[in-house]
Amino acid sequence: MTKEAQLDDSKLVARLRDPSTCREAFGDLIKLYSEPLYRQIRRMVQSHDDTDDILQNTFMKAWQNIENFRGDAKLSTWLYKIAINECMTFLEKERKRRGLSLDDEESNMVALIQADTNIDGDQLTQKLREAVATLPEKQRLVFNMRYYDDMKYEQMSEIMGTSVGALKASYHLAVKKIEQFFEDND
Protein backbone atom coordinates (compact mmCIF):
# COMPACT_ATOMS: atom_id res chain seq x y z
CA MET A 1 0.00 0.00 0.00
CA THR A 2 1.38 3.38 -0.93
CA LYS A 3 1.85 6.08 1.71
CA GLU A 4 -0.80 8.17 -0.04
CA ALA A 5 -3.34 5.31 0.01
CA GLN A 6 -2.57 4.65 3.69
CA LEU A 7 -3.08 8.32 4.46
CA ASP A 8 -6.36 8.46 2.52
CA ASP A 9 -7.58 5.26 4.19
CA SER A 10 -6.58 6.46 7.64
CA LYS A 11 -8.26 9.85 7.09
CA LEU A 12 -11.47 8.22 5.87
CA VAL A 13 -11.47 5.71 8.73
CA ALA A 14 -10.88 8.53 11.24
CA ARG A 15 -13.82 10.44 9.74
CA LEU A 16 -15.96 7.26 9.85
CA ARG A 17 -15.18 6.79 13.55
CA ASP A 18 -15.86 10.43 14.45
CA PRO A 19 -19.57 10.86 15.33
CA SER A 20 -19.59 14.39 13.89
CA THR A 21 -18.31 13.31 10.45
CA CYS A 22 -19.32 9.64 10.21
CA ARG A 23 -22.43 10.06 8.04
CA GLU A 24 -20.69 12.27 5.48
CA ALA A 25 -17.64 9.97 5.47
CA PHE A 26 -19.83 6.93 4.93
CA GLY A 27 -21.43 8.69 1.96
CA ASP A 28 -17.91 9.22 0.60
CA LEU A 29 -17.09 5.54 1.20
CA ILE A 30 -20.21 4.49 -0.71
CA LYS A 31 -19.39 6.82 -3.62
CA LEU A 32 -15.84 5.53 -3.74
CA TYR A 33 -16.53 1.79 -3.55
CA SER A 34 -20.07 1.19 -4.86
CA GLU A 35 -19.10 0.70 -8.49
CA PRO A 36 -16.13 -1.69 -8.06
CA LEU A 37 -17.96 -3.73 -5.42
CA TYR A 38 -21.09 -3.85 -7.59
CA ARG A 39 -19.08 -5.21 -10.53
CA GLN A 40 -17.38 -7.84 -8.37
CA ILE A 41 -20.66 -9.00 -6.80
CA ARG A 42 -22.50 -8.95 -10.14
CA ARG A 43 -19.93 -11.24 -11.73
CA MET A 44 -20.51 -13.73 -8.92
CA VAL A 45 -24.33 -13.74 -8.70
CA GLN A 46 -25.33 -12.50 -12.19
CA SER A 47 -28.68 -10.96 -11.12
CA HIS A 48 -28.91 -7.17 -10.87
CA ASP A 49 -31.49 -7.28 -8.06
CA ASP A 50 -29.50 -9.81 -6.02
CA THR A 51 -26.35 -7.75 -6.60
CA ASP A 52 -28.06 -4.63 -5.26
CA ASP A 53 -29.22 -6.53 -2.17
CA ILE A 54 -25.76 -7.95 -1.49
CA LEU A 55 -24.13 -4.56 -2.04
CA GLN A 56 -26.55 -2.99 0.42
CA ASN A 57 -25.81 -5.76 2.96
CA THR A 58 -22.09 -5.20 2.43
CA PHE A 59 -22.35 -1.51 3.25
CA MET A 60 -24.65 -2.19 6.22
CA LYS A 61 -22.09 -4.61 7.66
CA ALA A 62 -19.30 -2.12 7.04
CA TRP A 63 -21.31 0.60 8.83
CA GLN A 64 -22.04 -1.69 11.77
CA ASN A 65 -18.45 -2.92 12.05
CA ILE A 66 -16.26 0.08 11.21
CA GLU A 67 -15.04 0.11 14.81
CA ASN A 68 -13.62 -3.40 14.22
CA PHE A 69 -11.57 -2.27 11.22
CA ARG A 70 -7.98 -2.41 12.50
CA GLY A 71 -6.32 -0.77 9.52
CA ASP A 72 -3.91 -3.69 8.95
CA ALA A 73 -5.17 -3.93 5.38
CA LYS A 74 -6.53 -1.34 2.98
CA LEU A 75 -10.12 -0.26 3.48
CA SER A 76 -10.93 -1.59 0.00
CA THR A 77 -9.56 -5.01 0.97
CA TRP A 78 -11.78 -5.08 4.05
CA LEU A 79 -14.83 -4.08 1.98
CA TYR A 80 -14.07 -6.69 -0.71
CA LYS A 81 -13.80 -9.32 2.02
CA ILE A 82 -17.22 -8.38 3.39
CA ALA A 83 -18.72 -8.37 -0.12
CA ILE A 84 -17.22 -11.74 -1.02
CA ASN A 85 -18.42 -13.30 2.22
CA GLU A 86 -21.88 -11.91 1.51
CA CYS A 87 -21.75 -13.39 -2.02
CA MET A 88 -20.69 -16.81 -0.78
CA THR A 89 -23.41 -16.81 1.87
CA PHE A 90 -26.01 -15.76 -0.70
CA LEU A 91 -24.92 -18.40 -3.22
CA GLU A 92 -24.97 -21.13 -0.58
CA LYS A 93 -28.47 -20.11 0.59
CA GLU A 94 -29.71 -20.01 -3.00
CA ARG A 95 -28.24 -23.42 -3.74
CA LYS A 96 -29.97 -24.88 -0.65
CA ARG A 97 -33.23 -23.03 -1.31
CA ARG A 98 -33.41 -24.34 -4.84
CA GLY A 99 -31.99 -27.77 -3.98
CA LEU A 100 -29.25 -27.35 -6.58
CA SER A 101 -26.02 -29.31 -6.83
CA LEU A 102 -22.87 -27.45 -7.83
CA ASP A 103 -23.30 -28.66 -11.43
CA ASP A 104 -26.93 -27.51 -11.47
CA GLU A 105 -25.85 -24.14 -10.10
CA GLU A 106 -23.35 -23.72 -12.96
CA SER A 107 -26.08 -24.50 -15.51
CA ASN A 108 -28.39 -22.05 -13.74
CA MET A 109 -25.70 -19.33 -13.84
CA VAL A 110 -25.19 -19.84 -17.58
CA ALA A 111 -28.97 -19.64 -18.11
CA LEU A 112 -29.09 -16.37 -16.12
CA ILE A 113 -26.32 -14.92 -18.28
CA GLN A 114 -28.06 -15.95 -21.47
CA ALA A 115 -31.33 -14.38 -20.31
CA ASP A 116 -29.74 -11.19 -18.95
CA THR A 117 -30.83 -8.11 -20.88
CA ASN A 118 -29.06 -5.63 -18.58
CA ILE A 119 -25.54 -6.38 -19.83
CA ASP A 120 -24.35 -5.13 -23.16
CA GLY A 121 -21.59 -6.93 -24.94
CA ASP A 122 -20.63 -8.75 -28.05
CA GLN A 123 -20.85 -12.49 -28.58
CA LEU A 124 -17.30 -13.08 -27.36
CA THR A 125 -17.97 -11.20 -24.12
CA GLN A 126 -21.15 -13.21 -23.63
CA LYS A 127 -19.28 -16.46 -24.20
CA LEU A 128 -16.57 -15.45 -21.70
CA ARG A 129 -19.24 -14.69 -19.08
CA GLU A 130 -20.75 -18.13 -19.70
CA ALA A 131 -17.33 -19.80 -19.44
CA VAL A 132 -16.56 -18.02 -16.18
CA ALA A 133 -19.98 -19.04 -14.80
CA THR A 134 -19.06 -22.70 -15.25
CA LEU A 135 -16.07 -22.36 -12.90
CA PRO A 136 -16.30 -23.47 -9.28
CA GLU A 137 -17.09 -20.50 -7.00
CA LYS A 138 -13.57 -19.95 -5.66
CA GLN A 139 -11.95 -20.20 -9.12
CA ARG A 140 -14.62 -17.85 -10.48
CA LEU A 141 -13.87 -15.40 -7.72
CA VAL A 142 -10.09 -15.55 -8.27
CA PHE A 143 -10.50 -15.23 -12.03
CA ASN A 144 -12.85 -12.24 -11.68
CA MET A 145 -10.57 -10.39 -9.29
CA ARG A 146 -7.45 -11.02 -11.35
CA TYR A 147 -8.80 -10.74 -14.90
CA TYR A 148 -11.45 -8.03 -14.56
CA ASP A 149 -10.15 -6.04 -11.58
CA ASP A 150 -6.44 -6.63 -12.23
CA MET A 151 -6.09 -7.23 -8.52
CA LYS A 152 -2.70 -8.27 -7.22
CA TYR A 153 -2.39 -11.75 -5.73
CA GLU A 154 -1.21 -10.25 -2.44
CA GLN A 155 -4.44 -8.28 -2.05
CA MET A 156 -6.52 -11.31 -3.05
CA SER A 157 -4.61 -13.29 -0.42
CA GLU A 158 -5.61 -10.77 2.25
CA ILE A 159 -9.24 -10.81 1.12
CA MET A 160 -9.61 -14.57 0.84
CA GLY A 161 -7.19 -15.75 3.51
CA THR A 162 -5.46 -18.01 0.98
CA SER A 163 -1.81 -18.21 0.03
CA VAL A 164 -0.54 -16.41 -3.05
CA GLY A 165 0.63 -19.74 -4.49
CA ALA A 166 -2.83 -21.29 -4.12
CA LEU A 167 -4.41 -18.25 -5.77
CA LYS A 168 -1.98 -18.44 -8.70
CA ALA A 169 -2.81 -22.13 -9.10
CA SER A 170 -6.56 -21.38 -8.99
CA TYR A 171 -6.19 -18.67 -11.61
CA HIS A 172 -4.15 -20.95 -13.85
CA LEU A 173 -6.76 -23.72 -13.55
CA ALA A 174 -9.55 -21.25 -14.24
CA VAL A 175 -7.82 -20.02 -17.40
CA LYS A 176 -7.32 -23.61 -18.59
CA LYS A 177 -11.01 -24.42 -17.98
CA ILE A 178 -12.10 -21.28 -19.83
CA GLU A 179 -9.84 -22.17 -22.77
CA GLN A 180 -11.38 -25.65 -22.77
CA PHE A 181 -14.87 -24.15 -22.69
CA PHE A 182 -14.06 -22.10 -25.79
CA GLU A 183 -12.62 -25.13 -27.57
CA ASP A 184 -15.65 -27.25 -26.72
CA ASN A 185 -18.16 -24.56 -27.72
CA ASP A 186 -16.73 -23.36 -31.03
Q: Read off the pLDDT of residues 47-102 as tens digits, 9 standing for 90 and up.
A: 899 999 999 999 999 999 988 887 778 899 999 999 999 999 998 898 888 776 65
- What pLDDT is attached to residue 5? 44
Per-residue pLDDT of 116-161, as tens digits, reads 555 555 778 888 888 998 899 899 999 999 998 899 999 999 999 9
Higher confidence at residue 72 or residue 162?
162
3-state SS of the chain is CCHHHHHHHHHHHHHHHCCCCHHHHHHHHHHHHHHHHHHHHHHHHCCHHHHHHHHHHHHHHHHHHHHHCCCCCCHHHHHHHHHHHHHHHHHHHHHHHHCCCHHHHHHHHHHHHHHCCCCCCCHHHHHHHHHHHCCCHHHHHHHHHHHHCCCCHHHHHHHHCCCHHHHHHHHHHHHHHHHHHHHHCC
Average pLDDT, stretch 163-182? 95
